[in-house]
Structure 1
Amino acid sequence: MNISLKKARIIIRKALEAGAAAEMKPLSVVVVDAGGHVIAFERSDGASPGRFDVALGKAYGCVMLGMTGSAQRDRAEAQAYFVGAMNGLFGGRFVPVPGGVLVRGKDGAVIGAVGVTGDSSENDAVAALAGIDAAGFVGEA
């Protein structure tokens, strides 16, 4: 099972709608496949242009390590050397904080990840989960 472009667009639209409904700051949302490749990205009006890299870093870390953003944060707090080493291996391409959410198919396999940035990391994760749920997938934050 893969995340189609149609489903990625649903994830993004619903995540942005959830953020707006909760009066979050302008969000940016990226959806990646199981290899960390971008399927789709969108940035709300007013979101800073650097948010693409932050959103991608959140999602990329999830798929590369098979860990949620919150699990990466917890691991960084307990074993900073591990996260530092892993980020070095991946060229500094991941951001180990909430807002990176694994996407699982109905069989439980990881099929990609969503990265949301713009508000608090915890709110970013809430918006990501709303989008993932709306697309019919299971999110793990």
Structure 2
Amino acid sequence: MAGRSITLEQAQAVVAAALKEGRAQNYQPLTVAVLDPGGHLLAFAREDNSSNLRPQIAIAKAAGALALGLPTRILGEMAAERPTFINALSTISPVGVVPAAGGLLIYNAESEVVGAIGVTGDISDNDELCAKAGIAALTF
């Protein structure tokens, strides 16, 4: 892959694979966002009947992973230990931070961060499984 960012085509493939996993598992309607390393939205999809705050949650999950360089599952664990710190992130992040599983960093073959995915709609563990399925669809 040339450059240090996931391409639009790759981002769309990640979204499609995450949604496909959600349908295969019969999860609740999902919303998926893929951001570039700078936090800009590259690809997005909101399934029919997905609730109205899901776009913001998906983006905030991906952005939170990028902001701290950690999966949002770990941010959730941090929230239990240091709630003031995690709460402060939501006030300084332009799109917020959601400390719940479903936000993951996307790495290229050289272990460089090339983007992030945020998935929301079902329970957070299932959101994360779909995010992992989306990332697994990538080839570099």
Structure 2 equivalent of residue 65 of structure 1:
68
Q: 2:30 aligns with which of 27, 30, 34?
A: 27
Aligned to 1:8, which of 6, 11, 17?
Answer: 11
Q: Distance in 1 between matches of 2:30 and 2:95?
A: 22
Q: Which residue in 2 is equivalent to 1:96? A: 99
Aligned partner of 1:79 in structure 2 is: 82
Contact 1:35-1:64 at 8 Å conserved across structures: no
Q: 1:41 aligns with which of 41, 44, 65?
A: 44
Shift of 1:57: 0.7
Give the structure 2 partner of residue 113 of structure 1.
Answer: 116
Letter in 2 for 1:83: I
| Aligned position for 2:136 | 133
Q: What is the aligned length? A: 137
**What is the DSSP-based 3-state SS (H/G/I as helix, E as strand, rest coil) of the residue aligned with 1:54?**
helix
Q: Structure 1 residues 92, 36: closer, same or farther in 2, change over 3 A?
A: closer
Contact 1:26–1:45 (CA<8 Å) still a contact in 2? Answer: yes
Residue identity opposite 1:117 in structure 2: T
Please, what TM-score do these two structures have when normalized by structure 2?
0.93
After superposing the two structures, state which structure 1 stretch, 35-44 or 78-87, moved more.
78-87
Indicate the RMSD between aligned Cα atoms, in angstroms: 1.3
8 A contact 2:59–2:95 mirrored in 1:
no
- 1:97-131 CA-to-partner distances (Å, cap 9, x unmatched) read 10011111111111111000000001000001101
C-alpha separation in 1, matches of 2:18 and 2:79:
26
The Cα shift of 1:86 comes to 2.2
Matched AA of 1:95: V
Distance 1:91 1:5, change over 3 A: closer
The Cα of 1:65 is off from its aligned counterpart by: 1.1
| Deviation of 1:82 (Å) | 1.4
User: Which whole-Å CA distance do the structure 1 matches of 2:15 and 2:108 have between them?
Assistant: 17
Q: Secondary structure at the match of 1:46?
A: coil
2:126 is the alignment partner of 1:123: yes
Q: TM-score, with normalisation over the residues of structure 1?
A: 0.92
SS of 1:16 mapped into structure 2: helix
5+ residue gaps, structure 2: none
